[in-house]
Amino acid sequence: MQLERILQKHGFGTRKGCRSLIRQERVAVNGAICDDPFADVPTADLVFSVDGVDWAYCEFATVMLHKPAGYECSRKPQHHPGVLDLLPLPLRERGVQPIGRLDEDTTGLLLITDDGQLNHVLSSGKRKVPKVYLATTKHPLDQAQLDQLLGGVLLHDEPEPIAAVAAEAVGPNLLRLTLTEGKYHQVKRMVAATGNRVEALHREAVGGLALPADLQPGEWRWIVAVDLEKLVKTV
């Protein structure tokens, strides 16, 4: 693939802008400066750099983000900063978007991609991809509440009761809940249906992929092949 097309694909601007970057000798291919925009570069295992920052060639860009509170999962946020502001500009320019949404006050694992098929697979309710949440509740949990969540609770505007795949009290006011749907404010509404209330909410895992312990709030990381396997193995 021509080098200018590789840069454009990875969000470094228009063809003309990418051509200029290359001719200014700001681009290196596998460690060597290349000033020819039309150079035919093999994409297998390609690592290129722009202004000294390395980028691995990827057909689709998929990353995980430790979403902090106070950010909206929208490309056009209205009341708070958007989660995409936490990513570098080239990634944003590729047109990545969150897979599903977390509320502004919810923290934890958020997947972001420009792979439409992956987005569909992981966000479709029919696929029943499990998502694990840790909810801090206002009132102490009891077995009756857990039984309600596991047996199914009826939510407003839903024709049938909705049940959790798993519900476990890991502390007096700490609930670990596994769901396979992605309905609006689902965790909060389900807990409210049991007579309790969610005070804080954190997503720990999607599919078989857990939020890495060393990924701090606001930090992001590339999704690699082994991560993708964990994501889709439950689909």
Catalytic position from the list 36, 40, 103, 147:
103
Residue 196 contacts residue 139 (beta carbons within 8 Å)? yes
Query: Angle, to 10 degrees, between the axis of helix 116-123 and the axis of helix 225-232?
Result: 40
User: Is 36 known to be catalytic?
Assistant: no
* Residue-wise burial string across 111-134, b where 16 or more C-beta atoms lie within 10 A, e elsewhere: bbbbbeebbebbeeeeeebebbbb
> Does residue 68 sit in helix, strand or coil?
coil
Q: In what order do the strands lie in the sheet with 53-56?
A: 32-33, 27-29, 47-50, 53-56
Annotated catalytic residues are 103
